[in-house]
Chain A
Amino acid sequence: MQPDQTPLLSVDNLQVHFPVRAGVLQRQVGAVKAVDGVSFTLARGETLSLVGESGCGKSTTGLALMGLVKPTGGQVNFDGQEIRSFNRAALKSYRRRMQIVFQDPFSSLNPRQRVRDIIRAPLDIHNVGTKAERTERVAELMQRVGLRPDQADNFAHQFSGGQRQRIGIARALALNPDIIVCDEPVSALDVSVQAQILNLLSDLQRDLGVSYLAVSHDLGVVEYISHRVAVMYLGRIVEIAPKTKIFANPAHPYTELLMRSAPSHDPRKRHQFSATNDDIPSATRKPSGCAFHTRCPLATDVCKTVDPQLSARDEGRFVACHHR
């Protein structure tokens, strides 16, 4: 999809379906298609953001790529190698090069472990270096993310939210991964601290050339960190394009709605937000055809029956819409 770059990661038709069971025998009566045919590529040193609202499948996509939920179908190609099965052994070598930073730095760090053990865990699991080398690496990582190495003996609860997120980032960096999945990396943080973490992520990318797959609902954050943006709606990517194009000139009607809903930050340019409620479908009761047709101002009959495929528009932009 990106003609000018060889992708480091390419994801083709990824699907994650969760079974819906009912009755005494717990027979499967249906499936929630949380991720329903997602394809994208990620280049070295690039940040691609998955953006969308609750239930659009953005987080599940990130978790599926980490093997933290099992994909139902689709191909994942990492640095020329196909990840055929998400079994333990395959995952172990793959995870060495792909790490994750979670949203909530309060629940994603073990409160009983000292910071040095939290950051060192990936090195222990993958048997990297001698004991002395690992200790040295922990100090180096702490410095790298802006923590004082002399705090290595402290427990996670002794740190503020922003510092805890730094610990999570240091842990993700420990194995020198090629890709870090950032699942809402700053949404649990205060604004002033949020900026510190975003700046840190951007410094790390500049210095280490790491790629980010960022999952976020915050359009401001997305615009700040991304090179490219994929907008998701009910399990599908509806538009994927370079950041500047998406923000300056959204193509898909849903992307447009998202952009129009973001606050202006300028009291002289207030939106005239409509108070009207539009009934929002969920992944459990997904509309036929184009899933967005129930909310779309451009919808026609074809949208109700035919699901539009993601297809190329102007350079680097792909849109799934019959009318745009």
Chain B
Amino acid sequence: MSVLPHASQAPVLQVMDLDIEIRGANGSFAVVSDMNLSVRAGETLCIVGESGCGKSMTALALLRLLPEAAKVASGKILIDGVDFLAMNQRQVEDFRGEQIAMIFQEPLTALNPVLKIGEQIAEAVRQHRKCNHKQARARAIEALQLVQMPDPERRAGQYPHELSGGMRQRAMIALALSCDPKIIIADEPTTALDVTIQAQILGLISDLQKRLGTAQILITHDLGVVSEVADRVIVMYAGRKVEEASIYDLFDRPFHPYTIGLMGAVPRAGASSEAGDRLADISGTVPPLWDLPRGCAFAPRCPNASARCLSERPPFEEKRPGHWAACWEHDDAA
């Protein structure tokens, strides 16, 4: 996979200046601010960050599935140039599945427990395609074959609880792909899985993307997963982007102190550490979103923070060609 497989094409998904708010008991506060992103066909964008950074809220907003208490305060979501936020509920339902689909973290809660796998997929197909039951069922089996479900005809007749975790995740991917969406959003698709199954599902996701050319946004907390599948990466912290770069630029020369900290904090299999070695931890914890520091949200934990960082929020700007970050520091090498 090249870094930008179809660089000449217009993005299929564009998010512009998206702000998401949550209404709390003591007024509302922002959970995502100034979010801008775009993905092209065949490209995988990873959004990485820790709990509460706003990555899952962003994903839910992209499908207009935000919970009751949350709402998009401003911004635009364009799918193939069409404003998704301006649509009425009916149009949204048509768009979902056909244009944009989601793979959730926990297939056992995302799938309907009382419907057979094949029926769930066929139901989605019939909602979007003019076809009879038989055709919809054939399409469901096809989708299960696509995700390399073993013995797809038999599995189609089983309930979610009868499948193993890995097979359930395959079933959910089949459901997401059943109407040929242009965009797939996957929220921690392998977090609930064991490591050997995670490897299979990551292999499957890459395979499918090569074959189908979908645009993909993968939300994860795991830099290991990012290193395996991303073309481009956005790092989020406390509701904002702090860094965005191609996968190679990010792993070769991370710019933001938070990204650098994250990379140092992950113990890696094969890094041949000695027992007793120390990991480079990031001191302190993520600040609560309703009580963010005035300047850079990462400043209280940042080893390089200056007085300016504590009082003024740094703009998100291009630090090196194609490599963006929100930090007052300059690039020494540039």
Query: Taking the complex as formed, is A15 at the interface, i.e. its CB lies under 8 A from any CB of chain B?
Result: no
Residue of B nearest to A53 (CB): B194
User: Quick one: given A190-B51, A190-B286, A195-B265, are A263 and B275 in contact (CB under 8 Å)?
Assistant: no
User: Quick one: given A268-B248, A273-B203, A275-B203, are A53 and B277 in contact (CB under 8 Å)?
Assistant: no
Q: Please give, as numbers and ranges, the residues of chain A lying within 8 Å of B164 by CB-CB distance.
A: 279-280
Query: Taking the complex as formed, is B334 at the interface, i.e. its CB lies under 8 A from any CB of chain A?
Result: no
Whether A257 contacts B196 by the Cβ 8 Å rule is yes
Q: Please give, as numbers and ranges, the residues of chain B lying within 8 Å of A267 by CB-CB distance.
A: 227-228, 230, 247-248, 251
**Contact digits for A262-301, partner B, Cβ 8 Å, 1 yes 0 no:** 1111111011111111111000000000000000000000
**Contact digits for A233-270, partner B, Cβ 8 Å, 1 yes 0 no:** 00000000001100110000000011111111111101
User: In the docked arrangement, what's the CA distance between A312 and B303, Å?
Assistant: 48
CB A257 to nearest CB in B, in angstroms, measures 6
Whether B248 contacts A47 by the Cβ 8 Å rule is no
Whether A262 contacts B197 by the Cβ 8 Å rule is no
User: In the docked arrangement, what's the CA distance between A108 and B216, Å?
Assistant: 38
Q: Please give, as numbers and ranges, the residues of chain B lying within 8 Å of A247 by CB-CB distance.
A: 269-270, 272
When A and B form their complex, what is the total count of cross-chain residue pairs whose Cβ atoms lie within 8 Å?
165
Q: Please give, as numbers and ranges, the residues of chain A lying within 8 Å of B222 by CB-CB distance.
A: 263
User: Quick one: given A223-B273, A276-B200, A277-B148, are A265 and B261 in contact (CB under 8 Å)?
Assistant: no
Whether A248 contacts B267 by the Cβ 8 Å rule is no
Query: Taking the complex as formed, is A304 at the interface, i.e. its CB lies under 8 A from any CB of chain B?
Result: no
Query: Taking the complex as formed, is A107 at the interface, i.e. its CB lies under 8 A from any CB of chain B?
Result: no
User: In the docked arrangement, what's the CA distance between A218 and B50, Å?
Assistant: 17
CB A23 to nearest CB in B, in angstroms, measures 22
CB B59 to nearest CB in A, in angstroms, measures 18
CB A196 to nearest CB in B, in angstroms, measures 4
Whether B150 contacts A273 by the Cβ 8 Å rule is no
Whether B223 contacts A162 by the Cβ 8 Å rule is no
For chain B residues 217-232, which have a beta carbon within 8 Å of chain A? Answer: 221-225, 227-228, 230
User: Quick one: given A192-B282, A219-B195, A226-B275, are A259 and B200 in contact (CB under 8 Å)?
Assistant: no
User: In the docked arrangement, what's the CA distance between A310 and B117, Å?
Assistant: 41
Interface residues on B, range: 35 or more
**Contact digits for A129-171, partner B, Cβ 8 Å, 1 yes 0 no:** 0000000000000000000000000000000101100000000
Q: Please give, as numbers and ranges, the residues of chain A lying within 8 Å of B286 by CB-CB distance.
A: 190, 192
Whether B268 contacts A202 by the Cβ 8 Å rule is no
Q: Which of A206, A247, A280 has the most CB of B within 10 A?
A: A280
Query: Taking the complex as formed, is B114 at the interface, i.e. its CB lies under 8 A from any CB of chain A?
Result: no
Residue of B nearest to A51 (CB): B195
CB B231 to nearest CB in A, in angstroms, measures 9
User: In the docked arrangement, what's the CA distance between A263 and B247, Å?
Assistant: 15
Query: Taking the complex as formed, is A54 at the interface, i.e. its CB lies under 8 A from any CB of chain B?
Result: yes
Whether B194 contacts A195 by the Cβ 8 Å rule is no
CB A42 to nearest CB in B, in angstroms, measures 14
Residue of A nearest to B266 (CB): A191
Residue of B nearest to A205 (CB): B276
Whether B272 contacts A261 by the Cβ 8 Å rule is no
Q: Please give, as numbers and ranges, the residues of chain A lying within 8 Å of B307 by CB-CB distance.
A: none
User: In the docked arrangement, what's the CA distance between A226 and B164, Å?
Assistant: 30
Interface residues on A, range: 35 or more
Residue of B nearest to A47 (CB): B275
B195 interface neighbour in A53, A190, A195, A199, Cβ under 8 Å: A53
User: Quick one: given A191-B221, A220-B266, A223-B271, are A199 and B279 in contact (CB under 8 Å)?
Assistant: yes
Q: Please give, as numbers and ranges, the residues of chain B lying within 8 Å of A47 by CB-CB distance.
A: 275
Q: Please give, as numbers and ranges, the residues of chain A lying within 8 Å of B200 by CB-CB distance.
A: 273-278
Residue of A nearest to B231 (CB): A267
User: In the docked arrangement, what's the CA distance between A168 and B225, Å?
Assistant: 30
Q: Please give, as numbers and ranges, the residues of chain A lying within 8 Å of B285 by CB-CB distance.
A: 160, 162-163, 193
**Contact digits for B247-268, partner A, Cβ 8 Å, 1 yes 0 no:** 1100100000000011011111
Q: Please give, as numbers and ranges, the residues of chain B lying within 8 Å of A261 by CB-CB distance.
A: 195-196, 198-199
Q: Please give, as numbers and ranges, the residues of chain A lying within 8 Å of B194 by CB-CB distance.
A: 53-54, 217
Whether B221 contacts A190 by the Cβ 8 Å rule is yes
Q: Please give, as numbers and ranges, the residues of chain A lying within 8 Å of B207 by CB-CB distance.
A: 275
Query: Taking the complex as formed, is B90 at the interface, i.e. its CB lies under 8 A from any CB of chain A?
Result: no
Residue of B nearest to A196 (CB): B281
Q: Please give, as numbers and ranges, the residues of chain A lying within 8 Å of B130 by CB-CB distance.
A: none
Q: Please give, as numbers and ranges, the residues of chain A lying within 8 Å of B271 by CB-CB distance.
A: 220, 223-224
Q: Please give, as numbers and ranges, the residues of chain B lying within 8 Å of A220 by CB-CB distance.
A: 224, 266-269, 271
**Contact digits for B276-300, partner A, Cβ 8 Å, 1 yes 0 no:** 1111111101100000000000000
Whether B267 contacts A265 by the Cβ 8 Å rule is no
Query: Taking the complex as formed, is A221 at the interface, i.e. its CB lies under 8 A from any CB of chain B?
Result: yes
By Cβ-Cβ distance, the 3 closest A-B pairs, closest first, are A263-B224, A273-B203, A224-B267
Residues of B at under 8 Å CB distance from A? 50-51, 148-150, 164-167, 170, 194-204, 206-207, 221-225, 227-228, 230, 247-248, 251, 261-262, 264-273, 275-283, 285-286, 301
* Interchain Cβ contacts under 8 Å between A and B, 14 examples: A191-B50, A191-B265, A192-B301, A193-B285, A223-B272, A224-B273, A262-B269, A263-B202, A267-B227, A268-B248, A275-B206, A275-B207, A277-B150, A279-B150
